[in-house]
Amino acid sequence: MAEQKQLTETLQTQVTRLATLIEAQININNGTIIHRQTNNIAVMNIHPWDGQLCINVGADEIAAAFHENARLREYTKLGNESMASQVTGSPYVMELLMDLVKRAHADPANRNVYLDPKRSDQVLVLKKDGKWEVLPLLEASRTLFDSISVCMNLEALSPKMEKDLPMEARNALAIAGLLYSEEPEGYVKRAKGSMAAHLANCREKVKQEETQSAKKPQADNGQALSGPIFD
């Protein structure tokens, strides 16, 4: 009983500390983030972690990944046999998964997960009820990759993909989804360092955006002339 009580108190302390870190820059209310500046309030609804998918990417982001990422263009040239091999294909699948996670998080409305700056093995995620919940990094990474995989599978045979990507890239996309489904935990473990670095970088973006926003000229009504910056 004493150990259970101590564990409960420790977890509660972690939740309180992480919530304080986030709320120092963000005010949360039922999935809405309110970014406050002098004479300026900007509001954005954040996609909840426990929605149908924790993160979304569409055909445009997927097509852009294959057009812009040299590693993914290389993957499309391997041939189906090499693409379908975990030995030769898995590094490219990892590249695709992380690329799409980063593209999704480029939209502040998708930033519903942050790394604990003092513990690189856990994150804080925004739930539907507007509260932040502590999760292990590996569990969060699995949820992110699973959501990305669903998006990849949904878009692989879409008419837009047929228009925007050549056949070899569409094959690579479909095969990448299959490789991930064969051993998702392996991809999650191998991505631990990359995911931690990415989520830490999302925290830095918050600070940079706040600095940039504070320097923006204000309109007569106090709103930033070039539009609000969220997070």
Q: What is the 3-state secondary structure (H, E, C) of 159-215?
A: HHHHHHCCHHHHHHHHHHHHHHHHCHHHHHHHCHHHHHHHHHHHHHHHHHHHHHHHC
Q: Is 0.85 topped by the overall pTM?
A: no
The whole-number pLDDT of residue 203 equals 79
With residue 150 as reference, give the H or E element that holds it: helix 137-156
* Chain segment 29-78, per-residue pLDDT in tens: 444 444 444 445 455 688 999 989 999 999 999 999 999 999 999 999 99
Burial of residue 147, with CB atoms counted within 10 A of its CB: 0-12 exposed, 13-18 middle, 19 or more buried? buried
Say whether 131 sits in a helix, a strand or coil.
Answer: coil
* Chain segment 173-223, per-residue pLDDT in tens: 999 999 999 999 999 999 999 999 999 998 787 767 666 666 665 544 433
Burial of residue 111, with CB atoms counted within 10 A of its CB: 0-12 exposed, 13-18 middle, 19 or more buried? buried
Rounded Cα distance, 54 and 175, in Å: 23
* Chain segment 115-168, per-residue pLDDT in tens: 987 898 999 999 999 999 999 999 999 999 999 999 999 998 889 999 999 999
